[in-house]
Amino acid sequence: MGYRPRKRNAVVQLRPRNISYEESGRTITLLSMNRDNMDLEVEIKEGNETKILADFPFAHLPKKIKKEINPL
């Protein structure tokens, strides 16, 4: 009965889009984004070392990358 809008997923997978950028000798690759709290899961490569952070803030991204994601 009636119209029920589709629920949007809170987590957006960004891995298939291969979005990455270089910052101060590190390569940062975006893996996923949580729309509820605007946090990203990123993979950071520094030389031979690789770390995965689950609470990288969206505000710390460069403007060019923010436009590419366009969360709204």
pLDDT at 10: 84
Residue bearing the bigger pLDDT, 72 or 65 = 65
Question: What's the pLDDT tens digit per position in 26-43?
Answer: 999 999 999 888 899 999
Other CB atoms within 10 Å distance of the CB of residue 14 = 19
Phi, psi of 15 (to 5 degrees): -55, -45
Mean pLDDT of 36-60: 92
